[in-house]
Amino acid sequence: MRARSVFASLLAVLVLLTSVLAGQKVTTPAPERIPDLARDLASRLEGKSVRIPDGREIPLLGDPRSAPSPILTVDRMVQCLSTVSEAGAWPETWLVVQDSGREFDLVLRIRLGEDGRIVDPDPLFAAPRGEWDGETITAAARAATGKKPPRLSNVVVQSFTTRTETTYVYEPSGADRRAQGLLALLPKGSLIREAKRVDLGDGKLHTLALVLVDARFVPSDCKSCASRAVGHVDTGTVLAVLAGEKALEDKLDLAAELSKAGVRPFLPRYACWSGDDAEEFSKRPVNERFRDRPIAPLLDLVDFDRDGKPREIVLDLALDCERRLRVVLAVASEPPKVRLLEAR
């Protein structure tokens, strides 16, 4: 394997606040409610985009591994609302989200409604990186929306830093270069994650395999709830492949289903273990880090449709600390084919 760097998210905190209006009664959510408030707000922001100063539209909230990467994640939203509480800025504040890896800031109005939920942020816009106070935000909001914005006394600035994530390219072994069998039928550079024989009742040999093309290994930092849930993964083009003795019979690209869930295609490889979040662990050679780590099992043929024939597989993938994606695949016999039964 060889290493190369890409950018992903890791947070740090910077808080700026101004005074609360004299005599104003402040409603502060209990600390244990913050994660639920953040998830509720995130569910309403996910799928939306924001226009950044260079004219592009980028995702507002989603999985940090997707491309282009979103500004916010559920974990970041939890941190932002926790900071609002620490700043004593409830029930209403301007929230400025800064990411050191970007040249702009996200500005949104955070307000606690009478029902105890956070009201959909309005206004919400991106602006060039700046030093923010009530007056500068009011001017920027008017420029961005063309409307007169509310005048708020509170400003909270939440800053996140960007960490460097290292990915590892799978290099073919000598056996791979002299590929025979299933590997010889696949595109050059394919990685067979797991393969099993499947009985289609015709007396012939059939192999069902999960394959990655242009595979990369992406270790997790295992620091956040989401990164621990997903663990260390393989990324690339994810294919379910059905092969006979001498030819591929069918293949199914799972990218579309994973993209619908807001994540780049991946397959879990190793779970996060205690100590994986330590800086000393990340500095060790990757082969040494995972030498004795069991690989996550993926292929288990089951009788999902209860027809008495174990020809289905169920992939249960953690997407973050709250969401999972279940993909059910079935192998049909006449003609031999891989079908998607469900993805939810």
Model confidence pLDDT, tens digit, residues 206-249: 999 999 998 889 999 898 888 899 999 999 899 999 999 889 99
Report the distance separating Cα 93 and Cα 280, nearest Å: 40
The distance from CA 278 to its chain's CA centroid, rounded to whole angstroms, is 21
Q: Measured on CA atoms in the order 205, 206, 210, 214, is the torsion positive or negative?
A: positive
The distance from CA 330 to its chain's CA centroid, rounded to whole angstroms, is 26
65 against 120, higher pLDDT? 120
Q: What is the pLDDT of residues 41-73, one digit of tens each?
A: 999 999 899 999 989 898 999 877 666 778 999
Instruction: Write down the domain spans for the chain.
Output: 2-164, 191-343
| pTM exceeding the 0.75 threshold for the entire prediction | no
Q: What is the pLDDT of residues 301-331, one digit of tens each?
A: 999 999 999 999 999 999 888 889 999 999 9
The two structure tokens encoding residue 89: 């800025």
Least confident of 116-125, 168-177, 241-250, 328-337: 168-177
Phi, psi of 268 (to 5 degrees): -65, 140
Report the distance separating Cα 149 and Cα 304, nearest Å: 55
Other C-beta atoms lying within 10 Å of the C-beta of residue 301: 17
Where do we find the tokens 């929230």? 95
What 3 state SS string does the chain have? CEEEEEEEEEECCCCCCCCCCCCCCCCCCCHHHHHHHHHHHHHHHCCCEEECCCCCEEECECCCCCCCCCCECHHHHHHHHHHHHHCCCCCEEEEEEEECCCCEEEEEEEEECCCCCECCCCCEEEEECCCCCHHHHHHHHHHHHCCCCCCCCCEEEEEEEEEEEEEEECCCCHHHHCCCCHHHHCCCCEEEEEEEECCCCCCCCCEEEEEEEEEEEECCCCCCHHHHHHCEEEEEEEEEEEECCCCEEEEEECHHHHHHCCCCCEEEEECCCCCCCCHHHHHCCHHHHCCCCCCCCCCCCECCCCCCCCCEEEEEEECCCCCEEEEEEEEEECCEEEEEEEEC
pLDDT at site 108? 96
To the nearest whole number, what is the mean pLDDT of the chain?
A: 85
Least confident of 146-150, 177-181, 297-301: 177-181
